[in-house]
Amino acid sequence: MKTFQWTNLIGILCILFGAESILSVVVIMIITDGAMLPGVFQSSNTSGPNPVWLSIMNIFSQLISPMFLVAGIIFLKRKSYAIPLMYIILTLSVFSRFASIFIMASQPGSEFPWKALNIFTMIGPVIDVLLFIIVYRISKYYFVDPDKEVYFWNTGQLGQPVLKRLSVSGLVVLLIPLSLFLLWEYVAFKDLGYPESSEEYRRYLPSFLQARFAGNYLGVFCSILAFIFSSMGLKLQEKGWRRLNTTVLILGILFLAINLWSMM
């Protein structure tokens, strides 16, 4: 992808992340008339009052999330401080996500932090790190050459067969969030009502996806993988492969946004 396309993609994603965070708080305030607002800053994995430092980190995390909205707008406008600001926001986001876990680990008899280090809780930090890598790779051309082709990974030493396998892998991985989306559409088409539709939807899923948002987390993870594989496959110059990888990349971003939005 060209530098300006990466710029637009990162800016839009950051705006979506920030808007989702703000809307989540607003919806909670409207539905509960502010009664459940303290729960936004309360860890759902603890009972009773949080340790002081954990409460501080939860509040810090909630304050960082809306800043993605501002950073995304500034990044799209190509301000002189856009790159450093994006580095700062992404670094603080990763720090805030792990700090709470390590603070919980310091509590006597606490087993939660190590159980929390699983594929689902790692999705947020992985997204932040991937965005950080992309920002770093386009930083050289961000102002001087917006039309410069920049690839997510340095695939110069990967042969054509490897790139083709990555492209196919991206398509296969994308089928998972696509299948989950189509399953939900099939269940929703029965017009059972939201609670009944959710229950019917879970009946079709394996046991490890029965938890709330587990399917969404899996969809987010697979969308990111499809995005990575297809962005690497864009190195292929044949029109057919470029069209395939471009389609997978766009759909990966679409399903990533759908799954993130559905978790509001």
Q: What is the pLDDT of residues 127-151, one digit of tens each?
A: 888 889 889 989 999 999 888 888 7
Decide: helix, strand or coil at residue 149: strand
- Single out the residue of 258, 264, 216 nearest to residue 23, CA to CA: 264
Half-sphere exposure of 216 (CA within 13 A, CB side): 14
pLDDT at res. 152 = 67
Q: How far is CA 104 from the centre of its chain?
A: 24
- Enumerate residues 6+ apart whose C-beta is below 8 A from 170: 225, 226, 227, 228, 229, 230, 233, 245, 248, 249, 252
| pLDDT reported for residue 256 | 82
Closest CA to 231 of 151, 125, 135: 151
**Given this model, what pLDDT does residue 264 score?**
55
Average pLDDT over every residue of 218-223: 86
Average pLDDT, the chain: 78
Max mean pLDDT range (27-31, 88-92, 155-159, 225-229) = 88-92
Is residue 3 within 8 Å of residue 145, measured between CB atoms? yes
Highest mean pLDDT among 81-90, 225-234, 243-252: 81-90
DSSP 2: B
Helix axes 82-105, 3-32, angle to 10 degrees: 50
> Is the pLDDT at 207 greater than 60, yes or no?
yes
Tokens of 181: 């989306």
pLDDT of residue 138: 92
Residue 45: what are its φ and ψ, rounded to 5°? -105, 10
Task: Report, as an integer, the average pLDDT of 14-29.
Answer: 77
- Beta-bridged to residue 2, according to DSSP, are 149
Token readout for 157 is: 């030493």
Q: Which amino acid is at 56?
A: I
* Helix orientation angle between 82-105 and 123-138, rounded to the nearest 10 degrees: 150
Backbone angles phi, psi at 79, to 5 degrees: -70, 160
Least confident residue range of 21-30, 134-143, 181-190, 217-226: 21-30
pLDDT value, residue 239: 87
Q: What is the pLDDT of residue 39?
A: 46
C-alpha 120/C-alpha 118 separation (Å) is 6
Mean pLDDT of 26-46: 55
Query: 188, exposed or middle or buried, with CB in 10 Å at 0-12, 13-18, 19+?
Result: middle
pLDDT for the residue 252: 87
Please state the domain extents for the chain.
3-138, 160-262
SS3 111: coil
pLDDT digits (tens, 9 = 90+) for 80-126: 999 999 999 999 888 887 776 666 656 565 555 545 555 556 667 87
